Amino acid sequence: MERQTILQGRVLITPLTAFLIALLGFPLLLDLVYSVSRVGFENIRAPELSGLGNYAKALADPEFWAAAWFSLRFGVIVASIQVVAGLMLAIFLAPLFAARPWLIAFLMLPMMVAPALVGLMYRLILHEFVGAVPYYLLEWYGDFPAFLGRQWVFTTLVVIETLQWTPFALLILHSAYAAISPDVREAAALDGATGFRQLVSIDLPLMLPAIGVTAFIRFIDSFRVFDNIYTLVGSGAGGSTTSMSIYIYQAFFKVGDIGLAVAASMLLLAASFVVLWTINRLTARRDPA
Amino acid sequence: MTRLKVLLAGAAMLAAMGLSAAKAEVTVLGWPGGPEEAGLRKVAEAYNAKASDADKVKLIFFNRDGFFDKLAADLAAGTTEFDVNLLATYALGRYAPFMEPITLPAAAKETFPEKVLATMQYDGKQYGIPTDLSLHFMYYRSDLIEKLLSDADWKKTYGEISEKHLGKKLEPKDPDQWTWEDWMATALFFTKSINKDSPTRYGSVLQMKNLLFNMMVWHSAARAQGGDWMDASGAVTVDSPAFRTALEMYKTLYDDGATPKDSTSYEYAEANAAFGSGQAATMLQWNAAFADLDSKEKTPAVAGKIGTVAPPTGPAGRFTHIHGLGLGINKASTHKEGAVKFLDWLATPEAMTIYAKAGGSPALTDAVVANIVAERPDLKKLGEFAGSYGFVMNGGTAAKALQVYELQAKEFTAYWSGEKTLDEALAATKSGMAELLKQ
Amino acid sequence: MNPTLSSRPFMSALRWLVFAIAVVVLNFPVIATLVTSLKSDAEISSNASLIIEDPTLDNYAAIFAMADRFDILHYLMNSLVASLIGSALAIGLAFPAAYAMARFKTGRSWLLPLAVNLRAVPLIIFAIPIYLMYQQVGLLDTRLGLAFIFALVNIPLVLVLFTSAIAELPFEIEEAARVDGASTLRLIWHVVLPMSLNVVAASSVLAFIYSWNEFLFGLMLTTSRATPISVGASFFFAASGGGVRWGVAAAVMILATLPPLLLGLLMYRQIGRSMTAGAVKG
């Protein structure tokens, strides 16, 4: 019996495994070769092995670190704002959603739009002469910030990313909030905990796992941001909006330094595995307790 | 599992050297979306009407954004998806290894001036037939300049503003006589935050996005100051006083608010939208923008009130960046014979006449232009400007010219936006260029 | 619910107000683009407000008038077909694997984390190798080739959803079927799948939307025959040659966004549930 289930299990996971190997096996192998080669578009078929030079070059490149820092900062800030905004909306609007669940559909819509198109849309909306945002700010306040100028571009990108993905945080936190049993709250109310105190002492602690997961997912997605930044401002004045993904894209296509681009990708891959592995270990250790 | 990977990799590598099945037609990859595409469609139609079935051409186009990135990937991978593809002067060095040099047919010399044929040459070989020529015009609002030249109050304010911002008192001049300083004074004069009587919000609109094409536009200013990428000995001269002056000109206009504050994210489309709304008095822009801006349906605010001249004069003379677009043959093509036939025909006066009448912008010999000039008066100006003011930076067709443009775009926009000082930006550009341009 | 708070009509009105503001602000890009798509070129260059003086459908008509150059229906069809195949493939591959993971623990320790971690990797790093590989096997510029990528993009989420959904199914029914001598494959097909229809439906909607919105690989791997709408839409930015025709570009963006948007409105419940499950379990 035991042997049979092992065999059956293997048969069942074979199609998926085969698909992943077929689609990613060769690319991964080729990436590994490229990352230790001197390779550009001119010798894409005949890379010259050159050792770990590309890795050293990436690690010594201040722009690599600037891009990593950009992505990290962007991811952390955006994830934090989204969680806080999503949490506030989820709790404040909970009575509305409880009575009319379909209302939440309208708040979910931003997630359905392709990020690449969102970037293009803002190119239109923020333009001084054809866009609605500068038009109204000028009308009401007589001035508006240079949204995509050096001083404001980071803020603008944060706002754009936040507006598109706060709905995600809202959705998850809303269901976490709705899942808290009324009994728990009633018991708390009997103890005299109402309003804000109930929120802090009962609701938030119960929602903590959901908050953590939401923050983590939003961070991962925002860390590897590409589509919307690329279609809106490219890599920005002086490379000021170069995220990690844009750094790799630039090194790859614009500079044609394929070895460097792939080495940077491999470093990123390794880093993400370390982070995920650590998280897996931490949660695995916590589970039995 | 490891064995499977090796097998897969091996199979793919082996196959990479192999051939793919033959197709019946010659496939041409063109420059999408613009008048170039409209022109190519007409030409292909005319050609197919007389070509044998096996030689007929089929056109494909892909995205304009990232076009050259994708083309690089396609060519490097030895694609056979197309036989003939677009080429640009500044990308010749990058694509030449994947292209088949061509022999010019006799008709080519009748159709195109030598200087224009040279836009498709690299390392002494001809790689394509030049279909379009791009250069810059100084666009200005003729109604506003007319008033500036005649109104005494405006003239007085103009003098005061130029004295305050540029340190010397200037008189308004006809745009065709402008020096770069005159243009700056005009741009400052027509800026509302400087001159509250200005009918426009901004005196100019600069394209300062971190994008290689924007460097080409700005180069017209740098060259007029005497700037070049390299001197005759091959030493990089990007930190010359000429480059400094031209960079500072843009910086001054940007800092003084003579161009929209989001200019550091502006390219072709954004600049046209600003000028088209009637809120910018001047604009240094590609020749291709004229038709749209002058259209009553598209931009009624400025249509009929636009003047175009060659870019202003500088200490070293008057210049406009030029580059050609053209069509050449993919080295991996499986239909080279058919491709050659099409290109040979494309180089005839007959084909180019069709091309121009459908909207393309070929630069042609006087004899050929004479037949089209009634319908396309701008082609005459195009040819004249290219002949009198056209230049290509020394190194502008090198194998890594595109990367040089990318590098400059990044460093110079860092300076304009205030992220780096001029010295820092120029030092970084110089060392980067030395690396990219070394033989 | 807190009776003291929700009973006040003032609070209720305030909630509605916040809700309305949130809807407008969050959906602002789409709203503003929709408004622009209904203005004429001339009006766009003179009136940037959200009030349309002279509404027109010209921009939409212009899209279809350009069909010989940019065939929007062709792009939409490419996206539709590739997204459908891609979603179906992701589900077909992930479901049996998820069953094995949930019931036999097969691959739980390596395949599940490996597949899930794919979500955290910028897939751009595989772009060129996949291009080279596709070229050799003739998948370049085909809907099928695109569909494989879409499946790849969706497998992490779908796998997590299925694994946790199957783990929660009552085991007794399967045991009863097993006693009756049903093979594992029949069991999955006749017993487990019917019980999981909800999660299958929900994840296929989500997978479809994610596929529809994928951009980078659509750009890289297609030339003309299989161009998806997310990429095709950006063609229109240069459609007039001279400058951007903002109105036409806006209209195309609206058409490209409409299918996922409508799906989102119709299936909000399923999407919400699977996003939540995917997040919490993933």
Q: Which residues of C touch A27 (CB under 8 A)?
A: 126, 129-130, 133
Between CA A125 and CA A131, with CA A127 as vertex, the angle to 5 degrees is: 45
CB-CB neighbours of A46 under 10 Å: 8
The backbone torsions φ and ψ at residue B85, rounded to the nearest 5 degrees and listed phi first, read -140, 165
Q: Is the pLDDT of residue C8 over 70?
A: yes
Name C138's Cβ contacts closer than 8 Å, sequence gap at least 6.
B20
Q: Which residues of B touch C40 (CB under 8 A)?
A: 297
What would the pLDDT profile of B318-343 be if each residue is shown by its tens digit? Answer: 999 999 999 999 999 999 999 999 99
Above pLDDT 90, what percent of chain B? 62
Q: Which residues of A touch C28 (CB under 8 A)?
A: 125, 163
For chain C, say whether B396 makes contact (Cβ under 8 Å): no
User: Which residues share a beta bridge with B86?
Assistant: B327
Residue of A nearest to B280 (CA): A129
Name B377's Cβ contacts closer than 8 Å, sequence gap at least 6.
none
- CA distance, residue A61 to nearest chain B CA (Å): 13
Secondary structure class of B320 (helix, strand, coil): strand
- B417–A149 C-beta distance less than 8 A: yes
* CB B279 within 8 Å of CB B126: no
Beta strand B280-286 with B202-204 is parallel
pLDDT of the residue at B5:
47
Secondary structure class of A30 (helix, strand, coil): helix
Q: Which domains does chain B have, with CATH numbers?
A: 3-133+322-391 (3.40.190.10), 136-321+400-437 (3.40.190.10)
- What mean pLDDT comes out for the span C136-144? 89
Secondary structure class of B323 (helix, strand, coil): strand
Q: Which residues of A touch C208 (CB under 8 A)?
A: none
For chain C, say whether B267 makes contact (Cβ under 8 Å): no
- C230–A114 C-beta distance less than 8 A: yes
Q: Name the band, by pLDDT with cuts 50, 70 and 90, for residue B208.
A: very high
- B298–C238 C-beta distance less than 8 A: no
Query: CA B341 to CA C120: how far, in whole Å?
Result: 51
- CA distance, residue A151 to nearest chain C CA (Å): 22
Q: Is the pLDDT of residue C124 over 70?
A: yes
Between CA A157 and CA A165, with CA A162 as vertex, the angle to 5 degrees is: 125
Q: Is the pLDDT of residue B439 over 70?
A: no
pLDDT of the residue at B13:
44
Name B373's Cβ contacts closer than 8 Å, sequence gap at least 6.
B379, B380
pLDDT of the residue at C244:
66
Per 3-state DSSP, chain A is made up of helix, strand and coil in percentages (nearest 5) of 80, 0, 20
For chain A, say whether C167 makes contact (Cβ under 8 Å): no
Residue with tokens 């409105």: C265
What would the pLDDT profile of A198-208 be if each residue is shown by its tens digit? Answer: 888 888 888 99
- CA distance, residue A158 to nearest chain C CA (Å): 13
CB-CB neighbours of C69 under 10 Å: 16
* CB A153 within 8 Å of CB A241: yes
Q: Which residues of C touch B38 (CB under 8 A)?
A: 241
Closest CA to C162 of C90, C231, C259, C217: C90
Secondary structure class of A153 (helix, strand, coil): helix
Look at B34 and C189; give whichever has higher pLDDT: C189
Q: Which residues of B touch C65 (CB under 8 A)?
A: none
Secondary structure class of B94 (helix, strand, coil): helix
- What mean pLDDT comes out for the span B108-133? 91
* CB B410 within 8 Å of CB B212: no
pLDDT of the residue at C77:
95
- What mean pLDDT comes out for the span B190-197? 95
User: Which residues share a beta bridge with B28?
Assistant: B59, B84
Q: Is C88 left (phi over 0), alpha (psi -120 to 50) or beta?
A: alpha
Length of chain B: 439
Closest CA to B135 of B38, B250, B220: B220
What would the pLDDT profile of A178-192 be if each residue is shown by its tens digit? Answer: 888 888 878 877 777
Q: Is the pLDDT of residue B35 over 60?
A: yes
Look at A191 and B172; give whichever has higher pLDDT: B172
CA A113 to chain centre: 15
Length of chain C: 282
- What mean pLDDT comes out for the span A157-165? 96
pLDDT of the residue at C7:
58
Closest CA to B311 of B175, B133, B205: B175
What would the pLDDT profile of B37-86 be if each residue is shown by its tens digit? Answer: 888 999 999 999 988 888 899 988 876 667 787 888 888 888 888 999 99
Q: Is the pLDDT of residue A277 over 90?
A: no
- C242–B291 C-beta distance less than 8 A: yes
What would the pLDDT profile of A124-152 be if each residue is shown by its tens digit? Answer: 899 998 899 999 999 999 889 999 988 89
What would the pLDDT profile of A215-271 be if each residue is shown by its tens digit? Answer: 988 998 899 898 899 888 888 888 899 999 899 888 887 787 888 988 998 898 888
Closest CA to A188 of A176, A173, A171, A205: A205
For chain B, say whether A182 makes contact (Cβ under 8 Å): no
Query: CA B232 to CA B394: how far, in whole Å?
Result: 8
Between CA B364 and CA B373, with CA B368 as vertex, the angle to 5 degrees is: 90
Which chains touch C (3+ CB pairs under 8 A)? A, B
Q: Which residues of C touch B74 (CB under 8 A)?
A: 223
Q: Name the band, by pLDDT with cuts 50, 70 and 90, for residue C170.
A: confident
Which chains touch A (3+ CB pairs under 8 A)? B, C
- C243–B289 C-beta distance less than 8 A: yes
DSSP B163-201: HHHHSS------GGG-BHHHHHHHHHHT-TTT-TT-SSS
pLDDT of the residue at C281:
61
Query: CA B19 to CA B21: how far, in whole Å?
Result: 7
Name A44's Cβ contacts closer than 8 Å, sequence gap at least 6.
A258, B76, B77, C128, C132
- What mean pLDDT comes out for the span B263-269? 89
- What mean pLDDT comes out for the span C235-252? 71
DSSP chain C: --HHHHT-HHHHHHHHHHHHHHHHHHTHHHHHHHHHHTS-HHHHHH--SSS-SS---HHHHHHHHTTTTS-HHHHHHHHHHHHHHHHHHHHHHHHHHHHIIIII-TTTTTHHHHHHHGGGS-GGGGHHHHHHHHHHHT-TT-HHHHHHHHHHHHHHHHHHHHHHHHHHS-HHHHHHHHHTT--HHHHIIIIIHHHTHHHHHHHHHHHHHHHHH--HHHHHH-SSSS--HHHHHHHGGGTTSSS--HHHHHHHHHHHHHHHHHHHHHTHHHHHHHHHHHHHH-
What would the pLDDT profile of B280-323 be if each residue is shown by its tens digit? Answer: 999 999 988 887 788 888 888 999 999 999 999 999 999 999 99
Query: CA B415 to CA B431: how far, in whole Å?
Result: 16
* CB B202 within 8 Å of CB B144: no
Q: Which of A97, A109, A222 to mutate to test the interface with C (most CBs of C within 10 A)?
A: A109
Q: Is the pLDDT of residue C15 over 50?
A: yes
Provide the b/e sequence for C219-249 (b: ≥16 CB within 10 Å).
bbbbbbebbbbbbbbbbbbbbbbbbbbbbbb
Interface residue ranges in chain C relative to chain B, Cβ cutoff 8 Å: 40-42, 45-46, 69, 128, 131-133, 135-138, 140-141, 219-220, 222-224, 227, 231, 234-235, 237-246
- CA gyration radius, chain B: 24
Above pLDDT 70, what percent of chain A? 97
- B274–A128 C-beta distance less than 8 A: yes
Q: What is the mean pLDDT of chain C?
A: 85
Q: Is B157 left (phi over 0), alpha (psi -120 to 50) or beta?
A: alpha
* CB C96 within 8 Å of CB C186: no
For chain C, say whether B15 makes contact (Cβ under 8 Å): yes
Q: Is the pLDDT of residue A1 over 60?
A: no
- B277–A129 C-beta distance less than 8 A: yes
Torsion sign across C-alpha atoms C12, C15, C17, C23: negative
How far the first Cα of chain B sits from its last, in Å, is 45
- C137–B34 C-beta distance less than 8 A: no
* CB C242 within 8 Å of CB B293: yes
* Cα-based distances in Å from A281 to A211, A217, A278, B435: 19, 17, 5, 46
- CA distance, residue A276 to nearest chain C CA (Å): 7
Name B411's Cβ contacts closer than 8 Å, sequence gap at least 6.
A238, B420, B425, B426, B428, B429, B432
- Reported as type and span, the H/E element at residue A243 is none
Closest CA to A160 of A232, A66, A219: A232
pTM above 0.85, yes or no: yes
Q: Is the pLDDT of residue B222 over 90?
A: yes
For chain B, say whether A27 makes contact (Cβ under 8 Å): no
Q: Which residues of A touch C15 (CB under 8 A)?
A: 92-93, 95-96
Q: What is the mean pLDDT of chain B?
A: 89
Q: Is the pLDDT of residue C123 over 90?
A: no
pLDDT of the residue at C131:
83
- CA distance, residue C280 to nearest chain A CA (Å): 6
pLDDT of the residue at A289:
34
- CA distance, residue A129 to nearest chain B CA (Å): 6
Q: Is the pLDDT of residue C122 over 90?
A: no
pLDDT of the residue at B64:
67
Q: Which of A8, A11, A112 to mutate to test the interface with C (most CBs of C within 10 A)?
A: A112
- CA distance, residue B403 to nearest chain A CA (Å): 6
Query: CA A35 to CA C88: how far, in whole Å?
Result: 34
- B298–C245 C-beta distance less than 8 A: yes
Which chains touch B (3+ CB pairs under 8 A)? A, C
For chain A, say whether C97 makes contact (Cβ under 8 Å): yes
Secondary structure class of B11 (helix, strand, coil): helix
- B69–A239 C-beta distance less than 8 A: no
pLDDT of the residue at B23:
45
pLDDT of the residue at C173:
80
Look at B204 and B33; give whichever has higher pLDDT: B204
Closest CA to B172 of B197, B143, B152, B194: B152
Q: Name the band, by pLDDT with cuts 50, 70 and 90, for residue B9.
A: very low
- CA distance, residue B95 to nearest chain C CA (Å): 17
Above pLDDT 70, what percent of chain C? 93
Query: CA A118 to CA A162: how far, in whole Å?
Result: 12
Query: CA B45 to CA B41: how far, in whole Å?
Result: 6
pLDDT of the residue at A285:
59
Look at C33 and C188; give whichever has higher pLDDT: C33
- C231–B298 C-beta distance less than 8 A: no
Closest CA to C265 of A104, A169, A94: A104
Q: What is the mean pLDDT of chain A?
A: 88
* CB C250 within 8 Å of CB A108: no
Count A/B contacts: CB-CB distance under 8 Å: 115
pLDDT of the residue at B14:
42
CB-CB neighbours of B84 under 10 Å: 28
